[in-house]
Structure formats: C-alpha cells, structure tokens
C-alpha cells in the first residue's frame, strides 16, 4: 500500500515525469513537494502546468502552481487530505478553540479568540441569534462542527480551482470536476451504509430502517420527481381554469462570470466569480424583479429550476403563469433587470434574458419543463444532455454540483404551501366537511383542487386557509421511556419548533401519530446496541406473538405499566431479558425459549435476581 506522504505515489511519479522537462532542478523539487501534498489532483495539476508553461513560460506555471498550493494548504490543514486526515485536523482546531476559551477572561474575549482561529482556516463562521454567543462558542469547540465545515471548504476550494484551470467544461468534466464526482460517490456510499444500519422505533414496536424511510420520502429521486411534476401539472390546470397564460423564461449571468466559453476554451473575460457567487447574483436579480412586480401588483406563480452550464456556471429556467394582461409588463421588468449588468457586451440582448410563450398547440407547460426536472434529478426517460453525455451520468454530475455549492435546484413561486400539502396527506379523516374535502384533494395528489381550496394562486401564505402547525419536538428518554421535549440542542441553542400538523380556522390538527427514537443495529439483526432502548418498544409485541400475556407472566410489570407504560415497566424489570422473550437470542445452555411455561419460569427467575441485587 502506498503511504499518503510517499513521493513514490503513482500519480506523483506520473506528474513529475510529465513536467520534468520544464524549469530548473529547484523547480522540479518544488513541483514534487506540491504534487505529493496534493496527490489526489497531481495529474490534473501537471497537465495544467504543462499547458501554462507552453502557452506562457515555466515561471508563470510555477507561480500558478504555488498559488493553487497556497489555497489548498492552509498551514497544517491540507484540503487534499483524506477523510481521516481532515477529521484529525478538525480535532486539533477544536482543541485550539477550547484552549483559547479556557484562557479567555470573558465569553466575549473567548468568542473573538475562537473567531480568529476560524477565520485563519477560512471556514465559515457560526451564526449568532441575538446576543447569545454561547452556542457559537460551543460549535467552534466541537470537532464535529469543524469536520463538517472543513469538508464543505475542501470541495468548494477544489471545485473553484478545477473550474479556473479548465477542468470543468464540455471537453473535460461537464458540470463538475471528476474529483468532486469521486468524493460524492464515496459520500453516497457512506450515507447508504449509515441509513441502512440505523433504525427508528415507535411506541408500538414498529421498526423501520432510515433507508426505508428515505426511499419513501422526497429524498428518493423518483418520489421527488413525481411530486414536482404533480405540482407543476396542478399549476397548469389552475392557470387554464382561470384563463391565465404561461411563459417559459431563462435568466443567465454576464459573460464575466463564466469560466469557459461554449467551445470549452478558457473565457478571457472571466473575473474569478465562483459558482456560488454567480447563483447569488441570480438570486439577487430575482429579488429585484419580484419587488418591482409586487409594486405593480403583479404576482406570477409557477416554478424555478437552477441548471448549470457545462462550466458549472448556473442559469435559471422559470415557468411562470399570470393573467394575459400582465405578460408584457413581466417581460419588460425581467429584461430590464437582466441587462443592468454589462448590457453592452456582445450577445447580452440575445442570451441574458429569453422568453418563450407556452403554446398549447405545441405542447403543455409540463412538457416544456419536464426534461429540465428529469435532467436535474435522475435523467428519467432522457437519452442525452445538451452536450451529448449520457443523461443518467449528466444528472449525477448536476446534482453533485448543486450539493457542493448548496444550491436549491427547484423552488415553487407563489401558490399554496407544500408543507401544508404534505401534512394533509398524513392527516386522518376529519369531521369538518370543508377540511375533509381539502384533505382528500391532497391525498388524491390533486394539486389543482388543493390550490383552489387554499385560495387564489396569488394569495400570500399568511392569508391562506390552512397554515402549518409548529410544536416542540417529542422524543423518548432512552433510560426511562418517558416522552419529553428537549429544551436545547447539542450546542445550547433553543430547540427549534417542528412541523406537527396544520392549523384550520384557529384549531390545531396534529399529524403526529407516533413518538420515535433512533437506534443502531448490529450485524446480526435489528437489535439495538442500547438494550433498554428496544426493550420499551419490542417486548410486548414479541411476547404477544408467542402467546404470552404479561399480566399472567409478571403481575407487577402490568401494575407498573398502568402508571407509565408497559415498555417502561419491562425495561425497568426485565432489562436485557426482552431478547429472550423475542426468541431472537439463545440463552446459554438452554437453547431457544419457545413455551409459555419456560418464559414464565425464566421471567420469574430474572425478576427475582434483579430484586436481590436491588436489596444489596
């Protein structure tokens, strides 16, 4: 196995041999050091070095290589290190903050000292709510917080460099660099393993893996795509019902924000704008457009899709519905703001803002946007993207780009709350006939009926008929089995309120049917590593499956269960004995316990042993 700091790494040898003809011996030693430190991207750096040296000079190639090295090596933080190295670095930095906090004379001094460490390593500062700096201090002293921040910094730094040195374009790696794709694939594998090995259990003893629940939610690309298409179709049906027209608009950034030209060559006008900065530009642009439209009492509704160009520069597609009388005003406002920046550059009038009216004779609005939805999720029913790449692989690279930069790919504009829609789909049958009609439209996936029941498409959320209900989160105490609401989070913040149902005519309707707790499975079955945790939820159901009634086996458990819960009573009295009752574990020298008489005898012996220990 190659050592991570070995100069004989294959990729380092390859990079060194490719660049050996350039510069002096000192230049070569410098390159060897950098290639070794940045070994995951050594081959790409060597290719860039040769290109710069031949285009300009080896001196300029040296300067560019050193600049890249300085961005990725921040003193003792090597952003090209593996996950283990980054995790150890996170521990060191958290330790530095803990030391600074301990030495400070006041929380304010500690906060400033920790901020200097955070800024030095170029990670994003923790946010502060109000004047309370304790949660921020707790974050900066936590290695988990540091590790997450470093991982984000690593990908964004490397992706920015890759984009600037022409590694992200239609000729090399479309939409995202190959390095980022590799990292994201590994991350997905780890995520799948984590979800498959972690379970949630409710008070009824029902157990689900997190992977199973993720597959049923919008985390599943197929479910996500289906819900988006349902909502878009609903918007179009409402627009047709109201006699509104549809417009398909595209907003792009100025040329200076593009790293590469359409051909794949470097863009000489590029000013170093990152992917995130380009997206923030479009977000600000849309905020200006919406503010102006609001002043004119125009409120279009529809959907927005963020899609990258081949060089990872984002552009927006918007499917908007509105009354026909507002069509020209919307076009004028959007065109005006789209051309505020660099309006005189070549191609600005043609590319910066495009609009195409939805013509029912040519196809539906859903047809206009369907391929963009599929292309940005999983490539469903598409063969190739615009550049001839396989649609499924293109979708993988597009989602990797969005995840790296934290870009929200799809956003609803106007219309009712999707949170209310999802909560209604969880709600049981209602006595109120009006609410029941709305609930049925949601459960039937009829977004159009739901949208009309919630009010006019232009109605703001705070004036709609149904609003989300927020309440404190509920969880089970792992030791006592009692339900409680955490007052603070891991870092001392006030625990946020969670969506718990809907509010209709001033009355709250809860959709919480269960209280859940999380546990991790071992390699043999779904048994919790915390025995008491599963005992609360599994004993009763397991015993019933064996034909055992606990009130006959152990009356005192039944009495305790009346006061709190049967699960709590079992946990307190039986401890790990639940596994025996479930029949999933063997008792030494006894084999599987199957008969009721054996269960009764072993339960009695176990309880007697517990009481004897308690008396001691």
What is the separation, in whole angstroms, between the first and last Cα of the chain?
A: 56
Whole-number pLDDT of residue 330: 97
228 in Cβ contact with 447 (< 8 Å): no
Tell whether the model's pLDDT for residue 464 goes beyond 60. Answer: yes
Confidence of residue 517 (pLDDT cuts 50, 70, 90): confident
Helices within 339-390 (DSSP H only)? 348-351, 365-375
Whole-number pLDDT of residue 548: 39
Active-site residue identified among 69, 179, 368, 568: 368
DSSP string covering 266-315: B-TT-----HHHHHHHHHHHHHHHHHHHHHTT---EEEEEEEE-TTS-EE
Tell whether the model's pLDDT for residue 328 goes beyond 60. Answer: yes
Confidence of residue 616 (pLDDT cuts 50, 70, 90): low
- Which tokens belong to 455? 């009010």
Annotated active-site residue 121? The verdict is no
Task: Say which residue, 551 or 59, is predicted with more confidence.
Answer: 59
Tell whether the model's pLDDT for residue 575 goes beyond 70. Answer: no
Question: How far are the Cα atoms of 373, 408, 426 from residue 422, in angstroms, in the given order?
Answer: 20, 19, 7
- Which tokens belong to 14? 């390859």
Q: Indicate the helix (H) or strand (E) that contains 186.
A: helix 178-196
Measured in residues, the chain has a length of 616
Annotated active-site residue 387? The verdict is no
DSSP string covering 28-74: HHHHHHHHHHTGGGHHHHHHHHHHHHHHT-HHHHHHHHHHHHHHHEE
Whole-number pLDDT of residue 473: 87
487-496, 514-523, 567-576, 595-604: which range is least confident on average? 567-576
216-230, 439-453, 500-514, 526-540: which range is least confident on average? 526-540
Tell whether the model's pLDDT for residue 613 goes beyond 90. Answer: no
Active-site residue identified among 372, 380, 509, 568: 372
By CB neighbour count within 10 A (0-12 exposed, 13-18 middle, 19+ buried), where does 104 fall? middle
Whole-number pLDDT of residue 412: 96
Cβ neighbour number for residue 549 with a 10 Å cutoff: 11
Question: Rounded CA gap, 42 and 13, in Å?
Answer: 9
**Averaged pLDDT of the chain:** 85
The predicted model gives 131-142 an average pLDDT of: 95
Question: Rounded CA gap, 568 and 82, in Å?
Answer: 44
Domains of the chain: 83-158 (no CATH), 221-413 (3.30.70), 418-514 (no CATH), 527-615 (no CATH)
Measured at the CA of 115, the angle between CA 110 and CA 117, to 5 degrees, comes to: 100
The predicted model gives 572-578 an average pLDDT of: 40
The sign of the torsion formed by the CA atoms of 185, 187, 191, 197 equals positive
- Which tokens belong to 214? 């993720």
Question: Rounded CA gap, 53 and 47, in Å?
Answer: 10
* Residue closest to 576 by CA, chosen among 520, 519, 544, 528: 528
Whole-number percent of the chain with pLDDT over 70:
82
Whole-number percent of the chain with pLDDT over 90:
68
DSSP string covering 439-498: HHHHHTT-HHHHHHHT--TT--GGGSSEEEEEE---EE-TTT--EE--SB-TTSPBPPPE
Q: SS3 of 359, please?
A: coil
Spatial neighbors of 103 by CB under 8 A, at least 6 apart, are 113
By CB neighbour count within 10 A (0-12 exposed, 13-18 middle, 19+ buried), where does 600 fall? middle
Confidence of residue 154 (pLDDT cuts 50, 70, 90): very high
Tell whether the model's pLDDT for residue 434 goes beyond 90. Answer: yes
- Which tokens belong to 422? 């999802």
Task: Convert the pLDDT of each residue in 362-396 to its tens digit.
Answer: 888 888 888 899 999 999 889 999 898 999 999 99
Q: SS3 of 549, please?
A: coil
Measured at the CA of 117, the angle between CA 114 and CA 119, to 5 degrees, comes to: 110
Confidence of residue 612 (pLDDT cuts 50, 70, 90): low
């Amino acid at each position: 196995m190659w050592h991570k700091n070995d100069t004989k790494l294959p990729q380092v040898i390859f990079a060194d041999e490719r660049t050996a003809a350039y510069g002096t011996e000192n230049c070569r030693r410098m390159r060897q050091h950098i290639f070794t430190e940045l070994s995951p991207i050594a081959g790409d750096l060597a290719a860039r070095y040769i290109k710069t040296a031949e285009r300009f000079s080896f001196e300029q190639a040296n300067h560019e290589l050193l600049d890249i090295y300085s961005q990725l090596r921040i003193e003792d933080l090597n952003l090209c290190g593996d996950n283990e190295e980054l995790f150890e670095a996170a521990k060191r930095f958290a330790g530095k903050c803990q030391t600074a906090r301990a030495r400070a004379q006041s929380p304010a001094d500690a906060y400033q000292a920790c901020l200097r460490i955070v800024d030095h390593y170029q990670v994003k500062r923790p946010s502060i709510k109000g004047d309370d700096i304790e949660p921020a201090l707790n974050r900066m002293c936590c290695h988990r917080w540091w590790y997450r921040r470093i991982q984000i910094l690593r990908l964004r730094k490397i992706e920015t460099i890759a984009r600037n040195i022409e590694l992200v374009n239609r000729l090399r790696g479309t939409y995202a660099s190959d390095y980022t794709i590799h990292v994201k694939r590994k991350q997905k594998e780890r995520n799948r393993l984590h979800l498959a090995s972690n379970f949630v259990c409710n008070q009824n003893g029902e157990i689900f893996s997190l992977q199973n629940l993720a597959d049923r939610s919008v985390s599943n690309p197929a479910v996500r795509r289906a819900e988006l298409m349902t909502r878009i179709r609903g918007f179009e049906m409402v627009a047709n019902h109201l006699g509104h027209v549809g417009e398909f608009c595209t907003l792009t950034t100025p040329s200076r924000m593009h790293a590469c030209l359409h051909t794949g060559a470097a863009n000489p006008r590029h000013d170093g704008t990152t992917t995130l900065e380009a997206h923030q530009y479009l977000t600000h642009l849309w905020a200006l457009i919406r503010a102006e439209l609001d002043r004119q009492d125009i409120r279009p509704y529809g959907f927005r899709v963020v899609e990258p160009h081949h060089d990872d520069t984002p552009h927006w597609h918007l499917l908007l519905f509105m009354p026909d009388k507002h069509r020209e005003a919307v076009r004028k406002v959007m065109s005006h703001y789209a051309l505020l920046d660099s309006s005189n550059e070549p191609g600005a009038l043609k590319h910066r803002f495009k609009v195409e009216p939805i013509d029912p004779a040519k196809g539906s609005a859903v047809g206009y946007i369907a391929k963009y939805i599929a292309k940005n999720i999983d490539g469903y029913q598409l063969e190739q993207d615009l550049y001839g790449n396989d649609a499924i692989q293109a979708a993988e690279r597009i989602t990797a780009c969005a995840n790296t930069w934290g870009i929200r790919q799809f956003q609803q504009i106007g219309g009712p709350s999707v949170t209310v829609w999802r909560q209604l789909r969880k709600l049981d049958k209602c006595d109120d006939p009006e609410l029941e009609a709305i609930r049925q439209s949601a459960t039937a996936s009829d977004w159009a009926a739901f949208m009309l029941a919630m009010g006019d498409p232009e109605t703001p959320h705070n004036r709609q008929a149904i609003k989300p209900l927020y309440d404190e989160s509920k969880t089970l105490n792992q030791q006592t089995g009692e339900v409680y609401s955490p007052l603070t989070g891991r870092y001392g913040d006030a625990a946020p309120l969670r969506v718990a149902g809907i509010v209709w005519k001033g009355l709250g309707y809860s959709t919480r049917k269960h209280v859940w707790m999380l546990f991790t499975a071992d390699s043999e079955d779904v048994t919790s590593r915390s025995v008491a945790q599963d005992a609360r939820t599994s004993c009763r159901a397991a015993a019933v499956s064996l034909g055992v009634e606990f009130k006959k086996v152990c009356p005192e458990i039944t009495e305790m269960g009346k006061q709190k819960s049967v699960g709590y009573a079992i946990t307190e009295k039986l401890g790990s004995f639940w596994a025996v009752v479930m029949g999933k574990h063997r008792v030494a020298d006894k084999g599987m316990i199957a008969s009721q008489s054996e269960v009764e005898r072993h339960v009695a012996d176990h309880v007697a042993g517990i009481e004897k220990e308690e008396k001691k």
